[in-house]
Structure formats: structure tokens, C-alpha cells
């Protein structure tokens, strides 16, 4: 009798699961054609790391244009202040610049406390800072590999430790992390970089899932959102020697365009997105085939980065 009852419960759970799968599949198909409206970021306090140049600078300018208070972090104080000055010249937008080495946990915590006292609680965090030396794996020095992990990975942990608790206390916030298409597929001349970006991808998926599960186990329903971005090559100077077989198909993306897509993804609460958006779907599709299929496609496209001089 007990076994029959347990079996009935399992069947009921399977039926509920099936209904959920069908519902969410239909919802996803509908949202592909009719996406949700972009939420307002006016009045939010947005912190961007690596705001002195490239994507980070364009993100800071974009959020300022939308009415957010922008906090710019960069290790380069001069270029960071240039971004702050440019925002202030726009008129009506508040901007604050702070010099910070995000790979140094003590410095992150110190500057974070200063931001909280002088500006307020950060509600949107964009972990953008990163470096990308390009060369064959055995030509990297141990110091270069360590530095890449300190900036590209460990900084994400220190930033989360600094700002996530306040978001949880307010039950309001959004964290955006820049991974890379190199965090989805392995590429030559980028072995350590790929490893760092795969790590960011896993960290974001895990922290999002941890909060979701803790919410479903009797806690407060978490209103903290997470978005992971996988850019293809962006014209920021990191890709010193891009190798592109089909420029019209796989052109290097301007930083302004990349920033616009990132802001859109954050405002629509999209969990993950590649830039251009089709690359992530193509990767997931090809992964369902035998290994030789995606490798053949990669060989045909013959794109990536050549080693730095």
C-alpha cells in the first residue's frame, strides 16, 4: 500500500514536471518574439569595474544616460576620471570615480566601504575588468597566469563579498559578470584566459542557483538577479591580433554596441547572453553532436586570436 502511494506521488510529480516543461518552453518561445519590457534603472546606483576604457567606459556612459548614479572603478585613475568627467558633461547624471585594484581583496573592501558611505548602496554591479594576454600556453610565466586569475576570477569573488550582502539585506539588486565566448569554447593562445572565463561562468551559475534554492527552502524569495555575458571579440584593444576568416560574418564588435546589448540584457533580466546573441545558441546546438562536428565547424570558421608579439 505504501509503495503504491509512493508510486502515485512520483507519477504526480512527473506530471507536474511535464506541465512545467511545456509551459516554460511555450513561454520561452513567446518571449523570443515578444521580449519583456526593459526595467528602469533611473535612481539605481550602478558600479562598473574597468570603467576607464572599452566596454566598461561605454557601460558607465550608457547607465548615466538612463538616469542612474554611476560609480566608476579602475586601477588607472587618469582614464577613470576621464570617464567621470565625460558623464558629468552630459548633464543631470551623477558620477563618482574611485581608484581600485580589484584583484586585491583588502583594497576592494576598503574602497567598497568608502562608496557605501559617500554614495550609498550599490544596486547594480557590473564586474567587467579583465586582462587577456595571448600566447601559446607554455610561453606564459607563472606570474602572468596568477595575475590573470587574480583579475579575471578572484576579483569577482571579492566584489560579490563586498556588495552582495547589502543587496540581500534590501532584497534588491542585479549582478552582471562579463565572461566571454572563450568561457564557452576553448581557443588556442588563450588557455589561461579561457580557464578564467569558464570559472566566471560557473561561479555565476552556482551563486544564482544557491540563492534560488535557499529561497525555495523557506527563505525570502530572492529578488537578486544575475546576468552573465559572453562577448565575441570586442574592439577594446584586448584582441591585438584577431584572426577572422569571414569578416562580414564575424566582425569585431564595437564597444558601444557591446555595452548596449549588456544593458539591455540586464534591464530584461536575461540570465545569459552572447554578443552577438546567436553564438551561444549555435554552441549549445553543436555540443549535441559528436566532438568532430563542432571541431570541423571551428576549423571551417578558422577564427580566433594570434599570439601577441
Catalytic residue check, 193: yes
**Selected catalytic residue, list 193, 230, 232, 284:** 193
Smallest CA-to-CA distance from 158 within 225, 228, 224, 104 is with 104
What are φ and ψ of residue 101, in 5° steps?
A: -90, 100
Long-range interactions of 221-224: CB distance < 8 A, separation 24+: 222/168, 222/171, 223/171, 223/172, 223/173, 224/164, 224/167, 224/168, 224/171, 224/172, 224/173, 224/174, 224/175
Kindly write down the DSSP assignment for every residue of 106-157, as one continuous string: HHHHHHHHHHHHHT----EEEE-------S-GGGS-HHHHHHHHIIIIIHHH
What span, in angstroms and rounded, lies between the C-alpha atoms of 121 and 47?
10
Q: Which residues are catalytic?
A: 193
Amino acid at each position: 500500500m505504501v509503495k503504491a502511494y509512493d508510486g502515485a506521488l512520483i507519477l504526480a510529480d512527473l506530471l507536474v514536471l511535464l506541465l512545467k516543461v511545456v509551459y516554460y518552453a511555450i513561454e520561452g518561445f513567446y518571449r523570443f518574439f515578444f521580449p519583456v519590457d526593459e526595467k528602469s534603472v533611473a535612481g539605481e546606483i550602478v558600479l562598473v569595474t574597468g570603467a576607464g576604457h572599452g566596454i566598461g567606459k561605454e557601460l558607465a556612459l550608457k547607465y548615466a544616460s538612463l538616469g542612474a548614479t554611476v560609480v566608476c572603478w579602475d586601477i588607472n585613475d587618469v582614464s577613470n576620471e576621464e570617464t567621470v568627467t565625460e558623464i558629468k558633461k552630459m548633464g543631470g547624471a551623477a558620477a563618482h570615480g574611485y581608484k581600485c585594484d580589484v584583484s586585491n581583496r583588502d583594497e576592494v573592501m576598503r574602497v567598497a566601504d568608502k562608496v557605501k558611505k559617500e554614495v550609498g548602496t550599490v544596486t547594480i554591479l557590473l564586474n567587467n575588468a579583465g586582462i587577456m594576454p595571448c600566447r601559446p600556453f607554455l610561453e606564459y610565466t607563472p606570474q602572468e597566469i596568477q595575475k590573470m586569475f587574480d583579475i579575471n576570477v578572484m576579483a569577482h569573488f571579492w566584489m560579490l563579498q563586498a556588495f552582495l550582502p547589502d543587496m540581500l539585506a534590501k532584497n534588491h539588486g542585479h549582478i552582471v559578470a562579463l565572461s566571454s565566448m572563450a568561457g564557452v569554447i576553448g581557443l588556442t593562445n588563450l588557455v589561461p584566459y579561457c580557464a578564467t572565463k569558464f570559472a566566471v561562468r560557473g561561479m555565476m551559475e552556482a551563486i544564482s542557483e544557491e540563492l534560488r534554492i535557499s529561497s525555495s527552502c523557506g527563505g525570502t524569495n530572492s529578488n537578486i538577479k544575475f546576468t552573465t555575458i559572453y562577448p565575441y571579440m570586442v574592439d577594446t584593444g584586448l584582441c591585438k591580433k584577431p584572426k577572422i576568416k569571414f569578416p562580414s560574418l564575424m566582425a569585431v564588435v564595437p564597444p558601444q554596441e557591446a555595452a548596449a546589448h549588456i544593458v539591455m540584457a540586464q534591464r530584461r533580466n536575461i540570465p545569459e547572453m552572447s554578443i552577438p546573441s546567436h553564438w551561444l545558441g549555435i554552441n549549445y546546438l553543436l555540443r549535441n553532436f559528436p566532438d568532430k562536428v563542432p571541431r570541423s565547424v571551428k576549423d571551417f570558421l578558422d577564427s580566433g586570436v594570434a599570439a601577441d608579439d
